[in-house]
Amino acid sequence: MSTPRPAEPLSQAPRAHGPDQAKVRAAVRGGTLAYFVDQFDIYLPIVVLAPASVYFQAANLSASTTALLSSLVFASTLIGRPLGAVIFGHFADTVGRKRTTLVAVGGFGIITLATACLPGHETIGMWSVGLLIALRFVDGIFLGGEYTTAVPLAMEWSPRHKRGLYASLITSTSPAAYAVIAAITLLLLQMLPAAGLHSAYVQWGWRLPFLVGALLSAVLFRYYLKQVHEPPRELTGEKHKLPLVRLIARYPKALAQVFVLMTGTWLATNMEAAVTPVQLKAHLLLSSKQVTLTMLVINAAAALSYPLFGMLSQRIGRRRFYIGYGLSVIVIGAGSYTLLMISDGGLGTVLGFAVLIGLFTVGTFGPIAAYLTERFPASIRSTGYGVGYSLALIAPAFYQFYLQQFDGVLPAHLAPAVLIALAGALISLGGFLGPETKDVDMADDTTIPALS
């Protein structure tokens, strides 16, 4: 008589039949939709408000003040995200992933709708941009909570051998969201002129994408409420009253290593998403439509590359991927940006370099959802993922200050290439300092590298 085989850990058990497979699909679809809506909301002010900045600011402001206020609109969202990760990560680890996700999604949906209703400088003066910055900060708190809960939930349901692919499908919605916003803005600018304060786009056209963002939040809320299930207890671990304290006290090295990796990731992202469009217009003198088209190409190329990067990390390992990708950011990412800025070959040349920039600045995000959830044990996974992902946002959020340090040393249009190279070095270093994680068992804390 044969000896019975021990029960297989849930994260390794086959899910080819029964209700579990349906729950896997629902969780991954939910994570994908959640990440898309999150990134759609994040990029709204960068793309949509750029042609309408005069609506929120006095016409007599200097160019440097205008650029500073615009960067604060973006930075305020990024600064709010770590706070949201701490707050919502706590409740995700102590109360539950699904319920916490619903609160976060409902919150940023309401804030996005409120932003669409803001009056302009002509009506309430500087309060207009002040309210915009304040709303974006609160929005960042809810957005930080959303991915802190939704992404670990999706990864915990995912089979081990598909985590790289599923993670990349989730994160590919980030550049896809940027591309969608760029396409919407391009269409609106084609239909509604943005020629001065009282033009149609500046007065009301920019509100339409914000309304779309609020509607997407409502769709996401309903999907999670009806379709997504809480992961089994085996995958979420023993509850701790203070997961953040446990994270800092027991896993400081893991948190520091992730911080290095994500600092490089966010620095490269800000150079690609926030600085590049400004330089395309200021230095290469592209029109608003051409800038939008170029950014659409950059982010479409990145979105298509993410699944390839996710599968590559599944094959060669996350650690090797990040070491190699960081080096490619230094050489190809920074190099492509530099060549773009010194080129004068017309829109075709610009779009060619745009593809390379898209591939080799933000590709770190391909397997990042898998890597960060594999990096921390179940009982503090949402907190570890959220804090590790978001805490590193703060320093890169002040990219405008760093760029100003190059005044008199480098031309303004070339300084971002230095920060892209620095970002690549941090990504490689972060990958080098960390362990391999692709084979960890989500249900077995003894296999999580953070424990070693």
Tens of pLDDT, residues 211-237: 999 999 999 999 999 988 887 665 555
pLDDT digits (tens, 9 = 90+) for 177-218: 888 888 898 899 888 877 778 888 888 899 999 999 999 999
Task: Note whether residue 38 is domain-resident.
Answer: yes
Angle at 336 between CA 332 and CA 342, to 5 degrees: 150
pLDDT reported for residue 76: 87
3-state secondary structure 351-404: HHHHHHHHHCCCHHHCCHHHHHHHHCCHHHHHHHHHHHHHHHHHHHHCHHHHHH
Residue 16 domain-assigned (yes or no) = no
In a domain, 15, yes or no: no
Of 379 and 115, the structure prediction assigns the larger pLDDT to: 115
Instruction: Report how far residue 212's alpha carbon sits from residue 171's, in angstroms, rounded to the nearest whole number.
Output: 20
- Does 397 fall in a domain? yes
Whichever domain contains 165, its CATH number is 1.20.1250.20
Indicate if the pLDDT at residue 338 is higher than 90: yes
How many residues does the structure list for the chain?
452
CA nearest neighbour of 63 among 281, 344, 288? 281
Residue 4 covered by a domain: no
**What domain count does the chain have?**
1
Query: Diameter of the chain by CA atoms?
Result: 88
Per-residue pLDDT band for 57 (boundaries 50, 70, 90) equals confident
Task: Give the pLDDT score at 444.
Answer: 65
Provide the token pair at 46. 């960068």
CA distance 438 to 184: 37
Residue 30 has pLDDT above 70, yes or no: yes
Considering the domain boundaries, does residue 355 fall inside one? yes
Span between the terminal Cα atoms of the chain, in Å? 39
Alpha-carbon gap, residue 435 to 253, rounded angstroms: 11
Average pLDDT over residues 101-115: 93
Does the pLDDT value for residue 335 go beyond 90? yes
Q: Which domain holds residue 53?
A: 21-231+241-451
pLDDT at residue 243 is higher than 80: yes
pLDDT digits (tens, 9 = 90+) for 272-317: 988 999 899 889 988 878 888 898 899 899 989 999 999 999 999 9
pLDDT for position 12? 42
- Report CA-CA distances (Å) from 100 to 54, 125, 152, 375: 37, 37, 12, 21
Q: Is 19 exposed, middle or buried (0-12, 13-18, 19+ CB in 10 A)?
A: exposed
287 phi and psi, to 5 degrees? -75, 170
Assigned domain for 313 exists = yes
Q: List, in sequence order, the alpha helices (H) in 271-317.
A: 276-282, 288-316
Is 346 inside a domain boundary?
yes
pLDDT in tens, 369-394: 999 999 998 888 889 998 898 888 88
Nearest to 167 by CA among 45, 318, 17: 318
| Tokens, residue 422 | 């620095």
